[in-house]
Structure 1
Amino acid sequence: MVGELRPGEMVLAGIAEPDGPRLHFIGSIRSPWGPEDCPKNIGRAREAGMGARVELDPAFAPALAGLTVGQPVILLYWMDRARRDLLVQAPRHVEAPRGTFALRSPNRPNTISQATVRITTLDPVQGVIGIDAIDCFDGTPLVDIKPWLETVDMPPDSAAD
């Protein structure tokens, strides 16, 4: 549903209201990784000490307003080379097969992955964000960027339950 704009809001021309589930990639992730050497998770990517960057489609550059260097953000990205047919997987790091939804594997029905990363550089004019690390292949399509907020993204303290 399209509503009225509030003062200061800006829309992207040419994007119509979706008539069903669709994705519009907003850019891509540039990383040092390929299929032969990509870390299995963001922790291992950080251990490698190799940063990466996000390159937005220039039309989305204004959407970076308000982000700052040092800020953590959540990247949602489409693992375009992952399998989509595995319901149960047998990764090497666990003792027995597990259901796909019990794993962080990129192989899943909808190959959306996420990583919480820290902004190391920011060029809002060019739509480029330097990030501390990432665990995906170079050129992976970017779905969305969300700010990581402690008050929203930290699970509740289990001791308080």
Structure 2
Amino acid sequence: MTSGLRPGEVALEGAPDPDGPRLRLIGHIRSPWGQGDCPKNIARARETGRGATVELDPLFAPALSGLVVGQPVILLYWMDRARRDLLTQTPRHVEAPRGTFALRSPNRPNTISQATVRITALDPERASFGIDAIDCFDGTPLLDIKPWLATIDMPPGDAG
């Protein structure tokens, strides 16, 4: 997919490896966002005041045990509508092209994104929970949920 490049962008030739690692989707994110109105990042999503819902496959309902309302969690999700071939990108907010690994863009070889969100509601019987905000399209596949822990997730030297 090398069409639609901006000046300074470079795309990887060839498709991603179809026999690469296998992931098991655990659910989907229900968000208020679609093409054309999705915030560019979680900070902008929070500014809108619009929350979202995480819906798990019912098989994973027991895995919600121990989570509580108000707790921060890290969501790992698959940006299934993003490009996977860009090596350099020219976002509108920077002056010059940058390597994909120097950006938080969803366009990357493996379109895994992450957001640290706060649980606003919890419904283990329905295998779902509310979150304060998210920056992905409605129906985005969910890969994993991890508790956010200050003792582990704060970079060294940062105040907690």
Normalising by structure 1, report the TM-score.
Answer: 0.85
The letter of the residue matching 1:144 is D
Unaligned runs of 5+ in 1: 1-19
Task: Look up the match of 1:122.
Answer: 122
Question: Separation in 1 of the partners of 2:89 and 2:70?
Answer: 36
How far does the alpha carbon of each residue in 1:49-89 deviate from its partner, in whole angstroms, 9 at most, with x for none?
00000000000010000000000000000000000000000
Query: Which residue in the other structure is 2:36 paired with?
Result: 36
Determine the structure 2 residue equivalent to 1:47.
Answer: 47
Is 2:153 aligned against 1:153?
Answer: yes
- Counterpart position of 1:107: 107
* Correspondence 1:79-94 to 2 at 5 A: 79-94=79-94
* Residue number in structure 1 paired with 2:131: 131
Whichever residue aligns with residue 51 of structure 1, its letter is G
Map of 1:60 onto structure 2: 60
Moved more, 69-78 or 150-159: 150-159
Query: Percent of counterpart pairs with the same letter?
Result: 82
Query: What's the C-alpha RMSD, in Å, of the aligned pairs?
Result: 1.2
The superposition leaves residues 89-134 of structure 1 with CA deviations (integer Å, 9 ceiling, x where unpaired) of 0001111110000000000000000000000000111111100000
Cα 1:158/1:119, change in 2 over 3 Å = closer
CA distance in 1, matches of 2:27, 2:129: 11
User: Once superposed, which parts of structure 1, at least 4 consecutive aligned residues long, lie more than 6 Å away?
Assistant: none
Compute the displacement of 1:158 (Å).
6.5
Post-superposition offset of 1:21: 2.1
Aligned residue number for residue 21 of structure 2 = 21
Residue identity opposite 1:150 in structure 2: A
Structure 2: state its 5+ residue gaps. 1-19
Name 1:5's counterpart in structure 2.
none
Deviation at 1:135, TM superposition (A): 0.1
Q: Find the residue that maps to 1:45 and give its secondary structure.
A: helix
Letter in 2 for 1:113: S
Change (3 A) 1:158 1:118: closer
Could you tell me which amino acid in structure 2 is paired with residue 111 of structure 1? Answer: T
